[in-house]
Amino acid sequence: MLATPAPPHDGLGYLDLTAVVLYLLGTVGIALYFARRQASTEEFFLGGRSVPWFAVGLSIMATLMSTISYLSMPGELISKGITMLLGIIAFPLNVLVIFTLFVPFFMRLRLTSAYEYLELRFNYAARAMGASLFIFMRLGWMGVVVYTSSLALTEMTRGQVPEQYQTSLIYFMIAGVGLFATLYTVIGGLRAVIWTDVVQFLVLLGGTLITLAYVAVSTNSGPAQWWETASEVTAQHTRPPILPAAITEERTILWAVSMVFFWTICTHVSDQVVLQRYFATSSLKSARRSYLLAAGADLLVLILLALCGLALLAFYIQHPTYLPIDAETGAHHLPSSTKFSDKVFPYFIGHQLPTGVGGVILAALIAAAMSSIDSGVNSVSAVITKDFFARLYPKGSGKMSELALAKTLTFTIGVCSTGVACGVAYVVISRGINIFEVMQPAFNMFLGPLASLFVIGMFLPRCTAHSTLPAVLAGIALAIIWSYWKPIFGTDVAPSFALAVAAPFLTSLSLAALLGVLLNPGGTHSGSRYTWYNIIKHGQPASDVTEA
């Protein structure tokens, strides 16, 4: 028989706020401690290439998860079911590709910016294209991260702030979190970012375990009962279709596996945020260990977050009056409604967990957002410094050192990401979509074309810039059309967002292979030494080793 948990309390108390303040002060303290070691861009961007592998692994996982996954995975399961979780079926193939092909390749190159490779393989235009795609992608990503952390805080304080001021509070918190994170980023190098990531990963992991334990104990139930409750919401919640009936069908197991596979390999072959962390390790062995730890931690947390979604769905279906009242309908919110599903987890943390516990998790969510911004800004600064400033001004501008430029860029980029977050908030609030669906038009649309640049360079030896750049431009055009299909064509039906990374990636790759045959005569050329086979067999040519 199910027990009756305590009714929700008013929200965050003084103990919660004290936990938030102490946690944030500790995070800033870590950044200040490591900031003393910043005497060069190698230390600022790469942690002196001596960061322990386990810290790098947890940092990769924490950075890619951030507050986006922490809120979107439970929200996705609550509103749509387990379909997207089943994408984890792709994990073994992801591990095979990344561990065997990608990590050894990049560790042999000894780069600071991953996009240096594109100039070695093609030309500077390819490098500038890759760096620009990355910058656009990560600005959008940071905007979504800031928005989700602000969403979490506003839901945790629901009831303490009048309903009519909730939207205003979101924008206020976006500005506060974004600007505070910007100031924090200015003082933190990659070493500080990585170690704060480790702390945040452990606290966020603890948050999932506390949530599961609370629901299980307070309701005297477990995963079996949660699953049964979810199955009664819709058939797709627990029995998703395997194959799609049409390309417009969004949630099927095949599409979920495809999305996870292509998103993961594209991220690990082209994203400076990830590759920069591998560059910060001391050896190939350490980088591979980092990846395996990151993959294992990612799998664990995704499963736990999905269980949280099941638990919370069952909890609030059994106790619907524990949810706040919808100002529009006058009735209690439904947990599975798309409008509210992303807010269920933070509302539970702020109003159901014991006072003090919610504050620690809230602090970790805010700090995770700051860490994601720190990671993004640090990586974007590395790219702008190495791929544009140092490349165009090899002797420096005469006015500012690389390190000073990097610190100046952190402030500018942080402010820009805060502005993007306000735009994301407006779109999500006005259109009533969940976080999961906003990720593609906000930033993932650049990932497929960006990754294709690297894969073409690594595995299509015949291709040169003449055949590659037009193919990638075609992929970019397809990615934009795919992501904004509905407003472009004025329709309510669009191709599945689950294919929005795979389709542009495969289009660019296929078109480059065709143009390589049509436009390039074959044989050796200036970039031939930088294919995957030649780098793995011979290493980077000594004459072209890039200075870190």
The tens place of each residue's pLDDT in the chain, 548 residues long, gives 556 788 888 777 788 888 888 877 887 787 778 777 666 666 767 777 788 999 999 988 888 877 777 878 898 899 989 998 999 999 999 999 999 999 999 999 888 889 999 999 999 999 999 999 999 898 888 878 777 777 777 777 776 667 667 777 778 877 877 777 777 667 766 777 788 888 888 888 888 899 999 999 999 999 999 999 999 988 889 999 999 888 888 889 999 999 999 999 999 999 998 998 998 898 999 999 999 999 999 999 999 999 999 999 999 999 999 998 887 788 888 888 877 888 898 889 888 988 888 887 777 777 777 767 777 877 888 888 888 887 777 766 555 566 677 677 777 887 887 887 787 777 777 766 656 566 667 678 899 999 999 999 999 999 999 999 999 999 999 999 998 888 889 888 889 888 989 999 999 999 999 999 998 887 788 898 999 999 998 877 655 544 33
- Tell me the DSSP string of 136-175: HHHHHHHHHHHHHHHHHHHHHTBTTB-GGGHHHHHHHHHH
pLDDT given at position 134 = 95
The span from the CA of 353 to the CA of 363, in Å, is 14
In a domain, 468, yes or no: no
Which residue range is the domain that position 391 belongs to? 14-442
- The two structure tokens encoding residue 287: 């980088």
The answer to whether the CB of 4 falls within 8 A of the CB of 215 is: no
Look at residue 400 and tell me if it is in a domain: yes
pLDDT of residue 195: 84
Decide if 293 is inside a domain.
yes
Alpha helices by DSSP H, listed for 188-322, are 190-219, 223-231, 235-238, 253-270, 272-279, 284-318
**Alpha-carbon span 32 to 517, nearest angstrom:** 54
Domain assignment present for residue 312? The answer is: yes
Q: How far is CA 93 from the centre of its chain?
A: 20
**Considering the entire predicted model, what is its pTM?**
0.88
Query: Are 448 and 473 within 8 A, CB to CB?
Result: no
Residue 83 has phi, psi (to 5 degrees) of -55, -55
Query: How far is Cα 81 from Cα 188, in angstroms, rounded to an integer?
Result: 39
Q: Is residue 235 part of a domain?
A: yes
* Residue 525 within any structural domain of the chain: no
| Contact between residue 349 and residue 207 where contact means Cβ atoms under 8 Å apart | yes
Distance separating alpha carbons of residues 210 and 215, to the nearest angstrom: 9
The three-point CA angle 448-59-207 to 5° equals 105
- What single letter denotes the amino acid at residue 114? A
74 within 8 A of 152, measured Cβ to Cβ: no
Number of domains composing the chain: 1
Structure tokens at 397: 């501008």
Return the percent helix, strand and coil in the chain, to nearest 5.
75, 0, 25
Residue 397 has φ and ψ, to the nearest 5°, of -80, -15
Q: Which two tokens stand for residue 153?
A: 């805080």
Per-residue model confidence (pLDDT) at position 262:
96
Please choose, from the candidates 266, 268, 271, the residue with its C-alpha nearest in 3D space to the C-alpha of residue 131: 271
> What confidence score (pLDDT) does residue 395 get?
66
Answer yes or no: are the C-beta atoms of 278 and 63 closer than 8 Å.
Answer: no
Q: Which of 440, 463, 492 is nearest to 248 (CA)?
A: 492
Sign of CA dihedral 340, 341, 342, 343: positive
What is the CATH number for 219?
A: 1.20.1730.10
Whether residue 512 is contained in a domain is answered as no
How far is CA 320 from each of CA 19, 311, 483, 513, rounded to the nearest angstrom? 29, 14, 35, 56
Amino acid 545: pLDDT: 43
Residue 516 inside a domain? The answer is no
126 three-state secondary structure: helix
Paired residues of 158 in beta bridges: 161
